[in-house]
Amino acid sequence: MKIAILSRKESLYSTRRLVEAGQSRGHEMQVIDPLRCYMNITPHNPSMHYRGEVLEGVDAVIPRIGASITFYGTAVVRQFEMMGTYSVNESVAITRSRDKLRSLQLLARKGIGLAVTGYAHSTKYTSDLIQMVGGAPLVVKLLEGTQGIGVVLAETNKAAESVIEAFRGLDAEILVQEFIREANGSDIRCFVVGGKVVASMMRKGKEGEFRSNLHRGGTGTSIKITPEERSTAVRAAQIMGLNVAGVDMLRSNHGPVVMEVNSSPGLEGIETYTGKDVAGTVIEFIEKSAKPNQTRTRGRG
């Protein structure tokens, strides 16, 4: 098969590993920078151009769209879908997963365990918003933040109010969330491929840090998850419509609570800490699933 990885950089660990895993299974792998793709929007024969040439014969794409290029990146994925090219994660699902509020609403609707979360546009009723989610300590999050940036712990109601007002003063959209103290600065990342958890790790924030993100200095270990955690991860990925997903959850006193579902989960941490060939499982899944015109949404949405 000819498989294109939509990624800005060939040298990124995840991109390199997918290329390697594909090549070792006899596939032709090509890394394509989505920002250098351009396309013609037409009802007949939509096409994709890349660096001055028509891009043809691609059987499947693996979108690795960074948060900062979601808008253009998902348009590129959508064009591939319109052309009938299989995309391992569909554009609509990627867009969904990038908006934390929308994601949490979708997960809540299906009864997935979540931390109590509040959301408001106006700062007029901030103290009531804080009470609504149970009062301090609280976590305040930028709606489109990533890698732990824009996630703040407010220990008191007064601090929470100031942080909320500061973010809103900058016109940032935010969530306010119950702080799951018992998670102890750790979270669980389940890597889901095709409806199965193929690897999972526990991440722990560095000393004195409640955010467990590896980008914030956290470290990981391979762990055995509970059946409840496994089914929560699988269901969360399925609700988001993602074939490949990194589902993050916290161990709370009342079972697993999902934090977020990532549509371009990194491979470096999970492969390093679990020793598993996760890239290989992604390629295997594509081998089983990629057929022309198989993306369910075919560029809709």
249 contact, one of ligand ADP, Mg ion, none, CB 5-8 Å limit per kind: none
List helix spans (H) across 42-86: 70-82
243 contact, one of ligand ADP, Mg ion, none, CB 5-8 Å limit per kind: none
> Considering the complex, what minimum distance in angstroms separates the CB of residue 238 from Mg ion?
19
Residues contacting Mg ion: total by CB under 5 A: 1
Residue ranges in 96-135 that form contacts with ligand ADP under rule CB under 6 A: 115
Task: Please tell me the distance from the alpha carbon of residue 235 to that of residue 255, in angstroms, as a whole number.
Answer: 15
Q: Cα torsion for 41, 45, 48, 54, to the nearest 10°?
A: -140
Residue ranges in 163-222 that form contacts with ligand ADP under rule CB under 6 A: 177-180, 183, 187, 210-213
Assess contact for 286 and 63: CB atoms under 8 A: no
When asked if residue 248 is in the footprint of ligand ADP (CB under 6 A), the reply is yes
The contacts of residue 168 (CB under 8 Å, 6+ apart) are 123, 174
Question: What number of H helices and E strands is found in the chain?
Answer: 9, 16
Residue ranges in 224-283 that form contacts with Mg ion under rule CB under 5 A: 248
Residues contacting ligand ADP: total by CB under 6 A: 23
When asked if residue 146 is in the footprint of ligand ADP (CB under 6 A), the reply is yes
Task: Please tell me the distance from the alpha carbon of residue 254 to that of residue 279, in angstroms, as a whole number.
Answer: 33
Which one among 96, 98, 141, 235 touches ligand ADP, defined by CB under 6 A? 141
Assess contact for 263 and 65: CB atoms under 8 A: yes
- Residues of this chain that interact with ligand ADP (CB under 6 A) are 115, 139, 141, 145-149, 151, 177-180, 183, 187, 210-213, 248, 250, 259-260
